[in-house]
Structure 1
Amino acid sequence: MKSRFLIAAPSSNSGKTTLTLGLLRLLHNRSLQVQPFKCGPDYIDTKHHTAAAASQSINLDTFMMSTDHVQSLFHKYDADISIVEGVMGLFDGADRMKGSSAEIAILLNLPVILVINAKAMAYSVAPLLYGFKHFDPAVNIAGVIFNCVNTESHYRFLKEACEDVGVEALGYVPVNENIRIPSRHLGLNIGDEYDYDSIADHISKTVNVERLLEITTSTASIPYTQNTPQTGTLKIAIAKDEAFNFTYYENIEVLKQLGEVTYFSPIHDTILPETDLLYLAGGYPELYVEALSANAEMREKIFNYCNNGGRVIAECGGMMYLGKSITDREGTSYPMAGFLDITTSMEQAKLTLGYRTVTINNNILKGHEFHYSTYKEEGDLVKTGEVQNAKGINVNTPVYQQKNVTASYIHFYWGEHQSNNALDAFLSILNASSK
């Protein structure tokens, strides 16, 4: 008997992440094996999931991944309790429902627990629930939890609405500023420590967790065949510190199949590990520009590695670091590695966000773009591939190719290595192989 469900909401900022984190920690504290998942390309929520559950959170994304791969990942990490946190509103996808939480709920046959911010709502929640329940019969709305409800009398109005619509009310969460996780940019703050125990304690008082687990429990068996890992001989160095930490877990797992993975810090280290492939992952380098710039020894080593033909995949923050400089919000420019003839700036921050499909040498790569910085090309740069958004419309996001360096704002997903050879395509471009 295992409990599996998806936590969703009518819209963003309804409280689904806070509820998810509280449930993960609460169930972990009960010595249950709990496995977190995140719908969509988010690499910040997964960090919080992992910390709260003491178990690695896994991305499930029906735009960047095939349906077979999504199912395989879910089965691979099967546990006593599997909790999938949705993205945006339940039916919000990159193109209608494509890539939405609802699509994943249908694909994995998961009951949905809705989280509704009822701060300024009472019986009017009835038509809202009715619409979500009946919009797509393939989506099973199993229950609802109300957020921002401070009194039992308010909750009674909401329960009456649930009874009339036929959706089970599972409790409510009162407002508590002490458990609020502050936001930064589009996603959550990525600080290391939060009091997940306090969140767990708070929701346990007014949410019927036992009933939630009861209505989401099934006896369905989940078959999974473990593929034999490949063993390669590449030496792979990955940037990982405060500035560079936006990675997809399955991407790293694929890299580990190609050889030995070593982590290093462009902020704190002065030695670049011996490597055949350098992965400069994304992150928030703009928050650490002074420290990155001050480490001139590492900047020089990375420049020399790139200039001498070293193989590099640089994504978003990694691309910014390879440029000439990064300008902070106050207008101060800090020298970076200087390999790419670009400068990036946070002065007039503007959000760029969306899925990307890149066609390079007849290979299709999928990824996600998310940044506030702007860029300026300072010289002639070689660009490769055709880039389109989720609706197939061309976008001007550049994919730079200089010597054996491929750099872009796009965070690519190559975790589906065995079925779509996305990483093979990248390594082919970089004249690399798993030998």
Structure 2
Amino acid sequence: MPGFSHFIIAAPHSGAGKTTVTLGLLRALNNRGLNIQPFKCGPDFIDPLHHSAAANTPGINLDLYMMSPAHIRELYQRNTRKADVAITEGVMGLFDGAQKREGSSADLAALLQLPVILILNAKAMAYSAAALLYGLKNFDPALRIAGVIFNFVDTATHYQLLKEACDDVGIPALGHLPANKHLHIPSRHLGLDTANAEDAIQAAARHIEEHLDLDAILAATRTSRPAPAGNSASSEPKAQPTAPANPGKKTILVARDAAFLFLYPENLRRLETYGRIIFFSPLKDTHLPPADILYLPGGYPELYLDQLSNNQSLWHDIRTFAANGGRILAECGGMMVLGHSIIDESGKTWPTAGLVDIATTIKDKKLTLGYRTLTLNNQILKGHEFHYSQFTNNPTGTKNIAIHNARGQEIPAPVFYRQNLFASYMHFYWGESPGPLEAWLEG
């Protein structure tokens, strides 16, 4: 269909089916030959990886805690320039943010003027949907609720009751999806099996194509294309990223494979301003190519400990690289493999690089998550933590680095920082501004 449609998929709470619907819509519309651009509200790496596979276009994170509004607008405009449809998957419930609603799907929708399509789990609900929808609609009347898709609705009679609730509230009903026991998105936190993910995406697309009117959804969310950042009536200044003093002078190695795959595209764009990026695989490559900077992002090293631990020639090269002054940036799983060892779920210890005086374990899992702000030399770098592993020792990080959560509370989170090493459990976002990484990357 001609024109540009965009919207955010949101819900009253987690578990309503946002991801399944998003993936199904991305693939179903892609099957029509449309150019689809996916986005994810929040810092999550895993959903954008699925989005990328479903839409055949890299998924982009939009996060109001880690990014300025100007940067988000610029990202959105740049990445939708050639799109026919842009679909953003929300996070948690519509108004759930880091503090109250701050940074929520609702706030992102307001910033980008995104129509909202609600996903409502109506399995055990009938006319009570009216009260819930009324609250979501009127809590912030400035939001445009384009419609609601009812999930887990098996009969036409049930859907008719729900449509009556919609009519009374004044929200369009955009269709319903029955339960499908064969439709299962792979676990978000157990690694990404590409084949299983593709099977799930195809199943979700068939489910969407069979039960929803895609033309009606596109018509309900059609709008003018976003204006270029900086051309809006807003008085907010356009984000002005700092350019490196010596662009393009360095060779930067980036680990990228099934064990190290948590990479923000904008971070890589930023790294490219400092030099040439070369990707390599710690799972397959036995030696480290020559370089100035080594970036070990997070991922799932705990799923590949046999391969990683046995790749001692690579760990030897990394120790030599560091001894010769090579700079290493490591986040979460990347930091873990730089330690002496990782203990797996069975309690077995696997030796790793031995470059940092730490050891970690995923036995007796304990979830640590949340936004983080790192302050170093009066500069700020933002990111987040999400991991089940823990230190088995009590490492002492660099003393002049302060870490705070989204509520401004200082938290114990060791950061290992020296002239040629920057490692922690944090996943950083520096796509807008490198902050305290600037001098470190240029050194």
Same fold (TM over 0.5): yes
Matched position secondary structure for 1:341: coil
Indicate the percent of aligned positions where both proteins have the same amino acid: 52
Q: Distance in 1 between matches of 2:324 and 2:399?
A: 20
Matched position secondary structure for 1:213: helix
1:11 aligns with 2:13: yes
Shift of 1:198: 2.5
Matched position secondary structure for 1:205: helix
Matching residue of 2:207: 202
Matching residue of 1:31: 33
Matched position secondary structure for 1:178: coil
The amino acid across from 2:99 in the alignment is D
* Distance verdict in 2 for CA 1:123–1:398, change over 3 Å: same
Matching residue of 1:276: 292
Runs of at least 4 residues of structure 1 off by over 4 A? 224-231, 378-381
Shift of 1:176: 1.4
* 1:393-431 deviation per Cα after TM superposition (whole angstroms, max 9, x unaligned): 0111111124511100000000003xxx42xx2142x3x
The amino acid across from 2:327 in the alignment is R
The amino acid across from 1:433 in the alignment is E
RMSD (CA atoms)? 1.8
Matching residue of 1:333: 349
CA contact (8 A) 2:39 2:62 kept: yes
Matching residue of 1:178: 182
* Distance verdict in 2 for CA 1:355–1:380, change over 3 Å: closer
Instruction: Map 1:142-153 to 2 at 5 A.
Output: 142-153=146-157
CA contact (8 A) 1:299 1:337 kept: yes
Q: Distance in 1 between matches of 2:34 and 2:395?
A: 56
Shift of 1:307: 2.8
Matching residue of 1:426: 437
CA contact (8 A) 1:383 1:401 kept: no
CA contact (8 A) 2:251 2:291 kept: yes
* 1:277-317 deviation per Cα after TM superposition (whole angstroms, max 9, x unaligned): 11000001111111100111111111221233211110000
Q: Distance in 2 between matches of 1:126 and 1:379?
A: 53
| TM-score when normalising by structure 1 | 0.94
Match of residue 428, structure 2, among 409, 412, 422:
412
CA contact (8 A) 1:388 1:394 kept: yes
1:163 aligns with 2:167: yes
The amino acid across from 2:144 in the alignment is N
* Distance verdict in 2 for CA 1:18–1:139, change over 3 Å: same
* Distance verdict in 2 for CA 1:38–1:333, change over 3 Å: same
Matched position secondary structure for 1:179: coil
CA contact (8 A) 1:181 1:189 kept: no
Q: Distance in 2 between matches of 1:159 and 1:202?
A: 20
301-310 or 353-362, larger mean C-alpha shift: 301-310
How many residue pairs align between the two structures? 425
CA contact (8 A) 1:251 1:415 kept: yes
Matching residue of 1:102: 106
* Distance verdict in 2 for CA 1:169–1:378, change over 3 Å: closer
* Distance verdict in 2 for CA 1:134–1:325, change over 3 Å: same
Shift of 1:182: 2.5
CA contact (8 A) 2:73 2:229 kept: no
Matching residue of 2:69: 67
The amino acid across from 2:269 in the alignment is E
Unaligned runs of 5+ in 2: 231-237
* Distance verdict in 2 for CA 1:258–1:402, change over 3 Å: closer
Instruction: Map 1:243-258 to 2 at 5 A.
Output: 243-258=259-274
CA contact (8 A) 1:40 1:60 kept: yes
1:223 aligns with 2:234: no
